[in-house]
Amino acid sequence: GAVVSQHPSRVICKSGTSVKIECRSLDFQATTMFWYRQFPKKSLMLMATSNEGSKATYEQGVEKDKFLINHASLTLSTLTVTSAHPEDSSFYICSARGGSTYEQYFGPGTRLTVT
């Protein structure tokens, strides 16, 4: 149980375009989902927290107009990188949490390359 999927697993886009990444909890209802960015062999940087049906909370230094997050249902959150720039190239990971536990279940990640 507690499986989180992400789609796509890899995406290449051109500078200036937008790209959407989906995060789904497959077998549980995720009241909260988190979006992270990970650099090679580095830590996970929390970008934002999204709660179903409400606006996402962004961490300091993360541009909310650039990284649009929507958590429209208890099983789906999306991250849209707008006006993508090569500096946005990274590994984006989502996680989901349900109920009262702090435990988070992680997706497999999405490799974004902006050319």
- In the complex, minimum distance from the CB of residue 44 to another protein, in angstroms, rounded to a whole number: 5
- In the complex, minimum distance from the CB of residue 13 to another protein, in angstroms, rounded to a whole number: 23
Residue ranges in contact with another protein by CB under 8 A = 4, 32, 34, 41-44, 46, 49, 93, 95, 102-104, 106-109
Query: SS3 helix, strand, coil % of the chain, rounded to 5?
Result: 5, 50, 45
Task: Give dist(CA 30, CA 33) in Å, integer.
Answer: 7
CA terminus-to-terminus distance, the chain: 37
Q: Which lies closer to another protein via its Cβ, residue 84 or residue 95?
A: 95
Contact 97, 103 (CB under 8 A): yes
Task: Give dist(CA 79, CA 48) in Å, integer.
Answer: 10
- In the complex, minimum distance from the CB of residue 88 to another protein, in angstroms, rounded to a whole number: 20
Q: Which lies closer to another protein via its Cβ, residue 14 or residue 100?
A: 100
- In the complex, minimum distance from the CB of residue 97 to another protein, in angstroms, rounded to a whole number: 8
Q: Which lies closer to another protein via its Cβ, residue 28 or residue 106?
A: 106
